């Protein structure tokens, strides 16, 4: 299967990048998370990581060459056997496109402008609206991964007319797996106009907003943005029109700006921090310039913000106490950027609002309380009456679209199901002992399944369509399905058969935390070789699971229920026990019913009689 690696947008203003260095060669096997190349953008050099397993089939852009954002720079294949076919298919498609363009050129010569101009002809033949002769920057939809082609604007953190500085969060973009905050990396200015509103989708490289360097130029740029909103979207492979903008004047140090604490890294007077740290600081009203960073090169991390918050006085009055290192200038109201934007939209005077943030800063919640918006979301206990039922059609989120696509892909897989009851008395007793050490039931079941799969490698295999055979996996990576708000994801416990249950439990807590905040790395959710899905905590007795793409086995675990079973040694020949029903869904191409039956027998023996082997 052919997959193209496109030149990513490493910043919101990047239009093209230079291939500094390839870190792999043609024919090399790559895994999700492996660095592929070093890319130079208009801001910095960054490594491009692989988001899928496969083989680097062909390099299209050589070291030192430039490429527009969205242009393919390399090809990957699923396996080494597919490399030749992938390269041939790409070259055939390229020659077909070239011949089609050559045949269409004479026919379209009399026309005033070709329908799809190439980058070299764009300045003369483009039908895009002419930009105004004022200095400005466009914010483009970034590529959050090497395979992302479009994204959804979740929310704008600033409003038209708001001042913007380098490093300020502009918007949140949703891809198929994660939400990421996009920071402003250009010159200081003002958000002139938003082209793609919240909940709108756009192709990578399409303009999302326009930033003016001078506030007086906003009206002209708003008219230009309206014309862009109605213009056709540019081709993905063509670079965005180059808009000249004067170089920003050198930054002048402000005598009133507080100096960052020792160890904090600053760029142009801005404290460098991770997006999650910025978001947490915004929510808790913490001034990042006062936080000492412990990350690489003094970068402020989430733990730095939490430590600063816990060590700071709880009372807002601390802002005016003797020894405070942050005192707003006369006439300046301390407020977070989102609070300023919300207050401006609601036409509220910030000086009239009490600030509950650090050092008395006005936070977004302070503004929401003033406008009454916060009262729209009362605690469940305080909600009166019944909530209205949802109605109408709601578009899928990026994650929901990915899940739907994967479910459709499984329709062509011939599957079968086998179920077995497992006695859980000894296993539950073991869990009761280990629970005090922080070991979860999920970690115990993960280890039990991994040990059973180690004894029956066929259950850890998958169908390989490229060679028409069985793909055996050297590692046993157990994926556990986790339900999220509006989606589903499968965090992976790698090499689960070789690790202690305490190690698996500690890692699982971290994976769950990342899943809930949409911060899992691709290799932490797409590297599974055998899967588990558990609905037992909801009281479900048994169910069937849909086999994930690329795997051969998934186990559906029901709840543990009381049962009465025959026992010759008991009074009346019966005894009470606890049972769980396990249903395996398998790909019938590499795995047969007898394989599954023997595997479930082994799994039952481990849980019932050999549960100490999971320690």
Burial 516-534 (b: 16+ CB within 10 A, else e): eebebebbbbbbbbbbbbb
Task: Tell whether the torsion through CA atoms of 56, 60, 64 and 70 is positive or negative.
Answer: negative
Q: How many helices (H) and strands (E) does the chain have?
A: 12, 29
How many CB atoms lie under 10 A from the CB of residue 116?
A: 15
In the 8-state DSSP scheme, what is residue 558?
A: -
Burial 462-485 (b: 16+ CB within 10 A, else e): bbbeeeeebbebeebbbbbbbeee
Inter-residue contact 446 to 504 (CB < 8 Å): yes
Burial 415-439 (b: 16+ CB within 10 A, else e): beebebbbbbbebbebbeebeeeeb
611 φ, ψ (degrees, to nearest 5) = -65, -20
Q: Check if 588 is active-site.
A: yes
Alpha helices in 121-250 (DSSP H): 122-125, 218-229
How far is the C-alpha of 8 from the C-alpha of 577, rounded, in Å?
57
Characterize the bridge pairing of strands 179-183 and 169-174.
antiparallel
Q: Which of 326, 456, 463, 588 is catalytic?
A: 588
Name beta bridge partners: 415.
Answer: 587
| Cα–Cα separations (whole angstroms), residue 612 to 19, 314, 451, 540 | 53, 48, 11, 27
Long-range CB pairs of 23-26, under 8 A, 24+ apart, other chains included: 23/47, 24/56, 25/56, 26/56, 26/57, 26/58, 26/59
Q: Provide the 3-class DSSP secondary structure of residue 530.
A: strand
How many CB atoms lie under 10 A from the CB of residue 113?
A: 11
352 burial via Cβ count (<10 Å: 0-12, 13-18, 19+): exposed
Q: Which residues are catalytic?
A: 588
């Amino acid at each position: 299967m052919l997959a193209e690696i496109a030149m990513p947008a490493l910043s919101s203003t990047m239009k093209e990048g230079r291939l500094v260095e390839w870190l792999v060669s043609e024919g090399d096997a790559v895994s999700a998370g492996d660095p592929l190349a070093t890319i130079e953008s208009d801001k910095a050099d960054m490594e491009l990581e692989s988001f899928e397993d496969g083989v680097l089939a062909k390099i299209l852009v050589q070291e030192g060459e430039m490429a527009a954002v969205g242009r393919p720079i390399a090809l990957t294949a699923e396996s080494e056997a597919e490399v030749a076919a992938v390269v041939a298919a790409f070259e055939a498609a390229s020659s077909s496109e070239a011949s089609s363009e050559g045949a269409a050129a004479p026919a379209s010569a009399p026309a005033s402008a070709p329908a799809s101009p190439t980058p070299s002809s764009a300045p003369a033949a483009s039908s895009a609206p002419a930009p105004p002769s004022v200095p400005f920057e466009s914010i483009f939809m970034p590529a959050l991964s090497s395979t992302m082609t479009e994204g959804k604007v979740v929310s704008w953190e600033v409003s038209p007319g708001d001042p913007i500085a380098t490093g300020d969060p502009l918007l949140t973009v949703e891809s198929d797996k994660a939400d990421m905050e996009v920071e402003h990396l250009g010159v200081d200015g003002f958000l002139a106009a938003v082209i793609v509103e919240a909940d709108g989708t756009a192709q990578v490289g399409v303009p999302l907003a326009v930033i003016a360097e001078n506030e007086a130029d906003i009206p002209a740029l708003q008219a230009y943005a309206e014309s862009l909103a109605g213009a056709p979207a540019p081709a993905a492979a063509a670079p965005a029109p180059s808009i000249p903008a004067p170089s920003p004047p050198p930054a002048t140090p402000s005598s009133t700006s507080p100096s960052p604490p020792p160890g904090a890294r600053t760029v142009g007077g801005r404290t460098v921090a991770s997006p999650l740290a910025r978001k947490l600081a915004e929510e808790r009203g913490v001034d990042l310039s006062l936080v000492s960073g412990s990350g690489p090169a003094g970068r402020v991390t989430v733990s730095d913000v939490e430590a600063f918050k816990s060590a700071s006085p709880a009372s807002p009055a601390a802002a005016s106490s003797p020894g405070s290192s942050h005192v707003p200038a006369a006439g300046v109201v301390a407020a977070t950027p989102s609070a300023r934007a919300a207050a401006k939209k609601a036409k509220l005077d910030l000086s009239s609002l009490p600030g509950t943030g650090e050092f008395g800063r006005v936070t977004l919640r302070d503004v929401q309380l003033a406008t009454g918006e916060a009262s729209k979301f009362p605690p469940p206990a305080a909600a009166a009456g019944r909530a209205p039922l949802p109605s109408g059609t709601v578009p899928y989120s990026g994650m929901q679209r990915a899940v739907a696509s994967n479910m459709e892909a499984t329709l062509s897989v011939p599957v079968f199901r086998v179920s077995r009851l497992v006695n859980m008395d000894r296993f539950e007793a073991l869990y009761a002992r280990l629970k005090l050490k922080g070991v979860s039931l999920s970690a115990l079941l993960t280890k039990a399944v991994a040990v059973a799969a180690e004894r029956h490698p066929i259950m850890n295999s998958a169908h390989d369509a490229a060679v028409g055979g069985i793909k055996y996996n050297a590692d046993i990576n157990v994926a556990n399905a986790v339900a999220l708000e509006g989606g589903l994801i499968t965090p992976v416990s790698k090499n689960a058969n070789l690790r202690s249950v305490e190690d698996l439990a500690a890692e699982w807590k971290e994976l769950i935390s990342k899943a809930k905040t949409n911060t899992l790395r691709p290799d932490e959710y797409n590297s599974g070789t055998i899967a588990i899905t558990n609905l037992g905590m909801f009281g479900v007795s048994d169910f069937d699971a849909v086999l994930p793409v690329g795997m051969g086995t998934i186990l559906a675990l029901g709840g543990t229920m009381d049962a009465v079973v025959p026992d010759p040694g008991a009074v009346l020949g019966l005894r009470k026990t606890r049972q769980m029903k396990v249903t395996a869904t398998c790909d019938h191409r590499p795995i047969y019913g007898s394989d599954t039956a023997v595997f479930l027998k082994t799994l039952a023996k481990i849980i019932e009689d050999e549960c100490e082997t999971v320690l």
